[in-house]
């Protein structure tokens, strides 16, 4: 059987945040048309490419990542078909199916030249969870930051154990279509407490070939029950607790003055416009270990961050002026964060006590001349 001639060269699995470079073989000194179809065979993009070559033709490279970005904001995967056509006849002379996954890698990781799907995302013998806390063999999660952990399921099979006790079996080995599944470790703890009679903090993920990695739930720090929820680099939301002092530091911009005609004096006078208030908060993270500080880098890079107070989420921007994230001296490091809510206001409405109440104090009753006064 003759070996098929490759005319479209592109990785079968791709992350949308990485360059998605397709090599198209075109006829010599001629343009070629390429089309991209989604899984429903709907055309989503058409382009042209051209390569200068000899009499036999040549390759042209095109980065297609911008085509797929609008479709992959959060974790998930979808299949697409790339079709290559002759510009002269309109006849298709090659096609290839690819899969696009959400998220992306750092350039430092890409320079290593390793296949992230074989190394992590589709490797049941490694830390395949879509968390950026660590890619190591131990994932430490404070119990107040615990959210379900996601993974790409197709073809995966693994067990979750505590000691010799099996807590959960996940078998997706016969699943053909990709999907995102989650493990709710908070629910798994409750299940283990009922069935085993003990409170479980360690969860070992194993396969038929042995131990893969371990999830450890650690004790939460004391402090305000406020969090930052953010979309990580794999397209999954994670949470960071804020255990230090939080201060309300609003930014109030002076309103522009406008001229308004005053009929009493038959002249123009200056008039104030309402000022603009931007809600800002200053917080410190408390001292965190190396992996926790690296985790904060991903939060600071995220384009989708929410300030969570009393289970209410406020879209915000988060920044820091601290530049020290790690040091070889081994000294503990904490970071100062600036949290700015997306909304700016020209009007003020008193908040109910259950809104942003972490900065409020209980009203104190004092008595003066036999009258109760709230201060």
Q: Are residues 45 and 114 in the same domain?
A: no
- Does some domain include residue 145? yes
Domain containing residue 353: CATH number: 2.30.110
How high is the pLDDT of residue 54? 53
- Does some domain include residue 334? yes
Domain C-terminal end among 169, 187, 218: 218
Q: Are residues 207 and 236 in the same domain?
A: no
Residue 162 domain boundaries: 107-218
- Does some domain include residue 65? yes
Instruction: State the Cα–Cα distance between residues 301 and 365, nearest whole angstrom.
Output: 46
Q: Are residues 111 and 96 in the same domain?
A: no
Please report which residue ranges of the chain form alpha helices under DSSP H: 65-68, 107-110, 116, 185-196, 290-301
Domain C-terminal end among 81, 101, 121: 101
Please report which residue ranges of 58-145 form alpha helices under DSSP H: 65-68, 107-110, 116
pLDDT 10s per residue in the chain (375 long)?
444 567 899 999 999 999 999 999 887 667 889 999 999 999 999 999 887 665 556 888 899 999 999 999 999 999 999 999 987 788 888 999 999 999 999 999 999 989 999 999 999 999 999 999 999 999 999 998 999 999 999 999 999 999 999 999 999 999 999 999 999 999 999 999 999 999 999 999 999 999 999 999 998 876 567 899 999 999 999 999 887 678 888 888 876 777 887 888 877 888 877 888 889 999 888 777 788 888 999 999 999 999 998 888 999 999 988 777 777 777 777 888 999 999 888 878 776 655 555 555 444 445 555 554 444
Q: Are residues 175 and 278 in the same domain?
A: no
Q: Are residues 245 and 331 in the same domain?
A: yes
How high is the pLDDT of residue 373? 46
Instruction: State the Cα–Cα distance between residues 188 and 195, nearest whole angstrom.
Output: 10
Q: Are residues 159 and 188 in the same domain?
A: yes
User: What is residue 7's DSSP assignment?
Assistant: -
Q: In whole angstroms, how large is the CA radius of gyration of the chain? A: 28
- Those residues with Cβ within 8 angstroms of residue 10's Cβ, 6 or more apart along the chain or in another chain: 20, 21, 22, 23, 64, 82, 96, 98
CA-wise closest residue to 216 among 158, 288, 162, 150: 162
- Does some domain include residue 367? no
Q: Are residues 118 and 205 in the same domain?
A: yes
Distance of CA 193 to the CA centre of its chain: 31
How high is the pLDDT of residue 273? 79
Q: Are residues 192 and 207 in the same domain?
A: yes
- Tell me how far CA of residue 40 lies from CA of 27, 37, 79, 86, in angstroms: 30, 8, 9, 23
- Does some domain include residue 374? no
Distance of CA 162 to the CA centre of its chain: 29
How high is the pLDDT of residue 375? 42
Residue 74 has, within 13 A of its CA and on its CB side, a CA count of 9
Q: Are residues 88 and 132 in the same domain?
A: no
Q: String of b and e for 242-275 (b: at least 16 CB within 10 Å)?
A: bbbebeeeeeeeeeeeeeeeeeeeeeeeeeeeee
- Does some domain include residue 18? yes
Q: How many CB atoms lie within 10 A of CB 208?
A: 9
Q: Are residues 240 and 342 in the same domain?
A: yes
- Does some domain include residue 39? yes
Q: Are residues 295 and 184 in the same domain?
A: no
Domain C-terminal end among 72, 101, 130: 101
- Does some domain include residue 172? yes
Residue with tokens 């399921």: 153
Domain containing residue 97: CATH number: 2.60.40.10
Q: Are residues 68 and 89 in the same domain?
A: yes
Q: Domain tally for the chain?
A: 3
Q: Residue 298 in 3-state DSSP?
A: helix
């Amino acid at each position: 059987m003759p070996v098929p001639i490759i005319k479209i060269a592109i990785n079968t699995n791709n992350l949308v945040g990485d360059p998605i470079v397709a090599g198209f073989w075109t006829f010599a000194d001629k343009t070629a048309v390429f089309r991209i179809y989604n899984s429903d065979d709907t055309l989503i993009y058409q382009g042209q490419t051209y390569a200068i070559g000899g009499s036999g033709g040549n390759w042209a490279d095109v980065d297609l990542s911008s085509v797929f970005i609008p479709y992959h904001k959060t974790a998930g995967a979808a299949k697409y078909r790339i079709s290559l056509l002759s510009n002269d006849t309109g006849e298709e002379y090659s096609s290839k199916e690819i899969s696009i996954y959400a998220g992306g890698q750092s350039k430092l990781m890409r320079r290593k030249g390793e296949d992230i799907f074989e190394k992590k995302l589709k490797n049941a013998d490694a830390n395949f969870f879509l968390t950026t806390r660590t890619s190591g063999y131990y994932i430490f999660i404070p119990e107040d930051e615990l959210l379900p952990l996601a993974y790409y399921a197709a073809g995966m099979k693994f067990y979750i154990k505590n000691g010799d006790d099996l807590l959960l079996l996940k078998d997706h080995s016969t699943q053909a279509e990709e999907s995102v599944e989650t493990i709710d470790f908070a629910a798994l703890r409750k299940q283990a407490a009922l069935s085993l009679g003990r409170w479980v903090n360690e969860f070992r993920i194993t396969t038929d070939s042995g131990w893969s990695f371990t999830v450890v739930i650690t004790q939460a720090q004391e402090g305000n029950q406020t969090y930052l929820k953010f979309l990580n680099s794999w397209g999954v939301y994670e949470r960071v607790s804020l255990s230090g002092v939080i201060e309300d530091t609003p930014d109030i911009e002076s309103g522009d003055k406008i001229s308004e005609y005053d009929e009493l004096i038959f002249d123009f006078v200056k008039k104030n416009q309402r000022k603009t208030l931007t809600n800002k908060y200053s917080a410190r993270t408390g001292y965190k270990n190396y992996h926790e500080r690296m985790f904060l880098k991903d939060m600071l890079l995220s384009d989708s961050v929410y300030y969570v107070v009393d289970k209410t989420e406020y879209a915000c921007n988060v920044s820091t002026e601290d530049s020290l994230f790690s040091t070889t001296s081994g000294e503990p490091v904490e970071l100062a964060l600036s949290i700015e809510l997306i909304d700016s206001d020209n009007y003020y409405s008193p908040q109910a006590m259950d809104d942003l109440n972490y900065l409020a104090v209980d009203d104190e009753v004092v008595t003066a001349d036999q009258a109760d006064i709230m201060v």
